[in-house]
A and B are shown apart, each in its own frame.
Chain A
Amino acid sequence: MTEEKSLQGWTPELGGEVTLERIIDLAFDYRGNTTIVKTDGSEIVGYIFNRNREAPEPFIQVIDEEGNGPYTLVYADIATIKFTGRDTAAGKSWQAWVDRKQREKDGLAREAAGHGADSTSDTGPGSVD
């Protein structure tokens, strides 16, 4: 089973490969709220639902955590973006569901075989936790 990585909690620091454009792309793909730090020091917390890097003045669009917006921010006004909100896509893979179902089936099979709760071996797919 592959481990799912999440950007939740990441406060990126600009430099090297971590460019503002890269951070914005990652934030656009992120399924949670982020905190957008503007160049004037002010912050907006919300969900980035749109970004257009091909526009004459590249921009993002945000719906804030109260559901207000959309607010449009041009790249030039953004200092960085922090991944502060819960990643709503994390840990919800189909594989996790299959593993859980398999654990249930294995448990029923063990009970039927008379081992029940006495069993100490757990070699099924569910043992990855």
Chain B
Amino acid sequence: MGVPVSQAWAVTSYVLKQKLARRQKYPLVLMLEPLFRCNLACSGCGKIQYPSQIIKKNMPLEKALEAVDECGAPMVSIAGGEPLMYPHIHELVEGLEKRGKYIYLCTNAILLKDTLQKGAFTPSKYLSFSVHMDGLREAHDESVCRDGVYDQAVEGIKEAVARGFRVTTNTTLFDNAAPLQVREFFDEMMDLDIEGMMISPGYSYAKAPNKEHFLRKERTNNLFSDILSNKKKEWKFNQSPLFLQFLMGKHDYECTPWGNPLYNMFGWQRPCYLLQEGYAETFKELIEETAWENYGRSSGNEKCADCLVHCGYEATAVNETFGSVRGIWNTALTTVTGKL
């Protein structure tokens, strides 16, 4: 398992508290986008295509921390845009650490080595750099639409690992992914001595200009089965084993769209991280006034039909772990044996 015990315990106790309180809709990971600016322009990303007055904006630090307090999730994923370009990133990380939040700072790592060499950030159990890596050199550079980025990211990872930081990778797999190359990529990432990897299929959300190359459900299951069957023991994943089994088609889950709520400078995005159908002013309004019955595969909403993305289904997998004896047993078994 790629998740440290302290973090696993924090999440476990949080989920159990929600269950004891009989809270039906609770968040697991707050997705926080304090800016939309990025030093890359990946074609699969619909997050950075805004007019200049929006791209120039930074979320005030106080607003970011207010959102964290309002949401209450035990983990915060700082995304964007490129978070290392956010002028208040150090204060934000400090503020989150003071609150005992586990942080995934999602970065393309182009600026990571320089940032760390300047003495920014202090290693802690709370902070993990989650480096965007979509495959081996050629595949990754193609995915981010710029040559040389893979090598820069590897340099950043090495620097962070050498300085004692927690480092994970996050990988989106497209329909052109070759299973053998992905397995080779996993070997290469684990050789960098990272803590664990996170993987997810892409999704054809309406505003992403790369619709043709995102995955359909069946193909997704087949692809992840090919990749994860006979999983090597050295591969560590920083995510729920039940979610990985779900990607392989071993479980049939329903989406938990409120599990990873997104807050950005527009507000709380409805209904989820991927679909952008409007904004709520408060987290309470998001939870109480969103027509959740219109989302997820069983709703018949065609936008949700082929989605298997982590932001909707990992929370379901975690809930399944603590929701039944079978869930606990499956999770324990895969954790101990390392087999999916």
Does A120 interact with chain B (Cβ within 8 Å)?
no
Contact A88–B51 (Cβ < 8 Å):
yes
Query: A12 → chain B, closest Cβ, in Å?
Result: 19
Decide if B53 touches A49 in the complex (CB within 8 Å): no
Query: Distance in Å from the Cβ of B141 to the closest Cβ of chain A?
Result: 9
Chain B residues with CB under 8 A of A31: 49-51, 207
A31-B49, A50-B266, A93-B43 given as contacts; is B209 within 8 A of A98 (CB)?
Answer: no
By the criterion CB–CB under 8 Å, are B49 and A88 in contact?
A: yes
- Enumerate chain B residues within 8 angstroms of A49, measured Cβ to Cβ: 54, 266, 279
Residue-wise, chain A 47-66 has the 8 Å CB interface mask toward B (1 for contact) of 10111101000000101111
Interface size class of B (residues with CB under 8 A): 20 to 34
Q: Counting CB contacts under 8 A, is B339 at the interface?
A: no
A86 touches B43 (CB 8 A): no
B267 touches A50 (CB 8 A): yes
- A66–B44 Cα gap in the complex (Å)? 28
- For B209, give its contact among A54, A67, A92 (CB under 8 Å): A92
Point out which of A49, A64, A66 has the most chain B C-beta atoms below 10 A from its C-beta. A49
* A residues in contact with B145, CB < 8 Å: 94, 97
What 0/1 pattern do residues 38 to 65 of B give for CB contact below 8 A with A?
A: 0001011010011101101100000000
Q: Closest CB of chain A to B270's CB: distance in Å? A: 9
Q: Is the CB of B51 within 8 A of A97?
A: no
- Of chain A, the residue at the smallest CB distance from B41 is A92
Known: A67-B56, A86-B51, A88-B49. A101 touches B142 (CB 8 A): yes
Asked whether any CB of chain A lies closer than 8 Å to the CB of B206, the reply is yes
Task: Determine which of B44, B56, B207 lies in contact with A89 in the assembled complex, contact meaning CB atoms within 8 Å.
Answer: B207
A1 nearest CB neighbor, chain B only: B212
Distance in angstroms from A46 CB to nearest chain B CB is 8
Total cross-chain contacts (CB, 8 A): 70
Q: A50-B267, A50-B279, A101-B142 are in contact. Are A94 and B53 (CB under 8 A)?
A: no
Q: Cβ of B206 and Cβ of A47 under 8 Å apart?
A: no
Distance to closest chain A CB from B296 (angstroms): 19
Could you say which residues of chain B place their CB within 8 Å of the CB of A88? 49-51
CB distance from A25 to the nearest CB of B (A): 10
Task: Give Cα A52 to B270, complex, Å.
Answer: 11
Instruction: Compute how far the CA of A94 lies from the CA of B44 in the bound complex, rounded to whole angstroms.
Output: 7
Q: Which residues of A contact B212 (CB under 8 A)?
A: 2, 94-95
Q: Are A65 and B43 in contact (CB under 8 A)?
A: no
Give residues 170-220 of B contacting A (CB, 8 Å).
206-207, 209-210, 212-213
Given contacts A94-B44, A101-B142, contact A89 B209 (CB under 8 A): yes
Closest Cβ neighbor of A66 among chain B residues: B53
Q: C-beta contact mask, B140-153 vs A, less than 8 Å → 1, else 0?
A: 00100100000000
For B49, the chain A residues whose CB sits under 8 A away are 31, 88-89, 92
The 8 closest A-B pairs by CB, nearest first: A94-B43, A94-B210, A67-B53, A88-B49, A89-B49, A31-B49, A49-B266, A50-B279
B residues bordering A, Cβ < 8 Å? 41, 43-44, 46, 49-51, 53-54, 56-57, 142, 145, 206-207, 209-210, 212-213, 266-267, 278-279, 291
